[in-house]
Amino acid sequence: MKFAVDVRDLAKIYGKTVALDRVSFNVYHGEVFGLIGPNGAGKTTTLRILSTLIKPTSGIVRVFGYDVVSESSRVRELISYLPEEAGGYRYLSGLEYLRFMAGFYVKNGLSIEDMIKNAIEISGLGNRLKDKVKTYSKGMLRRLLLARALMVKPKLAILDEPTSGLDVIHASYVRKIIRDYASRYGVTVIVSSHNMLEIEFLCDRVALIDKGRILEIDNPERLKNKYNVENLEEVFLRATMNG
């Protein structure tokens, strides 16, 4: 199997609104792939289709060879999805929340204790995991949720704006965890962001998306060289003008 994710001519239409317009891209096994663009570009819609939460209007989407529509249950066994606006159970401690969520994955043959141990390491929250989630800062909550998403060692982690609204320290920690985890376990990662400057340091390849269409797909360095600019923000501006 050549690709972990294979998206061909993906379209999603809501009434008269075209959210995705014939989007095509591939993600290789073990790759950290970035889907970047401004708010409303179609990033979240794409990730929700990949996560089997919504169905495409047309097109083909396969995750490790399984069709996200006709074989959605098989896809869900292989992925973990972290939405941008995900929240925790406020009145549980961090550990209680992780243990509760781990219970859903026992059927996959994973040990709860191994998942908890993994989550503790990923979150880096230490003794704060004994405190109630309602006492966490936004950065701490995001680290807890990232730990929840990765502790199951998915074949594909789908992360929607994982550093959105975080301060520099927490954002840097989250980026490092994603990169290190993918490298350590060979997990394939698709991450969306409107922050193009940070994503170029995180991803092996990126797809620039705007108004539901893919503008460019390549390694960040090659894209910068192609447009003779210093960062992906400038690449995006040039690509938008060319489009």
Which string of DSSP letters, residue by residue, matches 119-187?
HHHHH--GGGGGSBGGG--HHHHHHHHHHHHHTT--SEEEEESTTTT--HHHHHHHHHHHHHHHHHH--
Average pLDDT score over the chain: 92
Q: Residues of the chain with pLDDT > 70: what percent?
A: 98
Going by pLDDT thresholds of 50, 70 and 90, the confidence category of residue 108 is: low
Q: What is the pLDDT of residue 87?
A: 79
Does 206 score more than 90 pLDDT? yes
Strands, sheet with 3-14, edge to edge from the N-terminal-most edge strand: 17-28, 3-14, 58-63, 66-67
Does 68 score more than 90 pLDDT? yes
Going by pLDDT thresholds of 50, 70 and 90, the confidence category of residue 205 is: very high
Q: What is the pLDDT of residue 7?
A: 97
Residue 216's SS3 state is: strand
Q: What is the pTM of this model?
A: 0.93
Q: How many helices (H) and strands (E) does the chain have?
A: 9, 10
Using CB atoms within 10 A of its CB, is residue 71 exposed (0-12), middle (13-18) or buried (19+)? middle
What topology is assigned to 3-78+156-242 in CATH?
Answer: Rossmann fold (3.40.50)
Identify the H or E element spanning 6.
strand 3-14
Phi, psi of 172 (to 5 degrees): -65, -40
Identify the H or E element spanning 46.
helix 43-50
Going by pLDDT thresholds of 50, 70 and 90, the confidence category of residue 197 is: confident
Q: What is the pLDDT of residue 243?
A: 56
Does 119 score more than 80 pLDDT? yes
91 vs 84: which has the higher pLDDT: 91
Does 161 score more than 60 pLDDT? yes
Domain boundaries defined on the chain:
3-78+156-242, 88-153
- Which DSSP state fits 53? S
